[in-house]
Amino acid sequence: MLYELALGTLENVDNKIASSFRNDFPELNQLSAVDLKPSILPIAASVLKVGNTAPSTISIVHEIQETYQSQQWRQPYQADDFGLDFFNNTAWFPIADVEGPILFSKGLMEIMLLEPNITYPNHKHSPEELYVILAGNVWWQSDNQKACRKFAGEVIHHLPNVIHSIKAGNKPVLILNLWRRGSFEMPVITNA
């Protein structure tokens, strides 16, 4: 079950902020679930070709690879937000959100997939955010600081409304994306 594997991943990455996010997500038996209609986007099969995992992330990556065809993949952006390359080469599916599959309104848990070398340009949002790199690696830039590289098993933290961007390495990247104190909203695109 992806929800429990995600909680386990947050425990296993051995990071204080990840532990804090873990504690904001209830145990599975305290939550309800619904079946979401599967929806596949063309890039979804790239989960089978992702970059290196870490010991803390390999279980959830295997589960994503086994279940990707039954997930409700989505592309929340429009083609002209960040361009067609971004639009066609990024995708997400929810694990816990207001509409399921685990029903939860005080936070968001989803999986993000980026194709190789794709940049997710500057944006911001009001919920606080945690990324756990599950497979592959990214260049990450936040708050106009110097870009740094993050690998599978590593954590990226964004305080509310901090501007951030990432660029995928040369293999597809899987990221566990968490928001707390807010369910899904469209991020604000920034040019900063």
User: Which residues here bind Fe ion, judged by CB under 5 A?
Assistant: 129
For Fe ion, the closer CB: 73 or 184 = 184
Q: Is 62 helix (H, G, I), strand (E, B) or coil?
A: helix
For Fe ion, the closer CB: 4 or 81 = 81
For Fe ion, the closer CB: 129 or 154 = 129
Of all residues in this chain, which one has the CB nearest to Fe ion in the complex? Answer: 129
CA 156 to each of CA 60, 88, 130, 168: distance values in angstroms, whole numbers, following the listed order: 18, 24, 6, 14
Nearest distance, CB of residue 70 and Fe ion, angstroms: 26
Q: Which residues pair with 123 in a beta bridge?
A: 164, 189
Nearest distance, CB of residue 78 and Fe ion, angstroms: 17
| DSSP 8-state secondary structure symbol assigned to residue 104 | -
Nearest distance, CB of residue 158 and Fe ion, angstroms: 6
Q: Which residues pair with 132 in a beta bridge?
A: 155, 176
- Count how many Cα atoms sit within 13 Å of the Cα of residue 76 in the half-sphere of its side chain: 14
For Fe ion, the closer CB: 53 or 177 = 177
156-180 core/surface letters (b: 16 or more CB in 10 A; e: else): bbbeeeebbbbbbbebbbbbbbbbb
Sign, CA torsion 61/186/23/139: positive
Nearest distance, CB of residue 85 and Fe ion, angstroms: 19
Nearest distance, CB of residue 162 and Fe ion, angstroms: 9
For Fe ion, the closer CB: 33 or 107 = 107
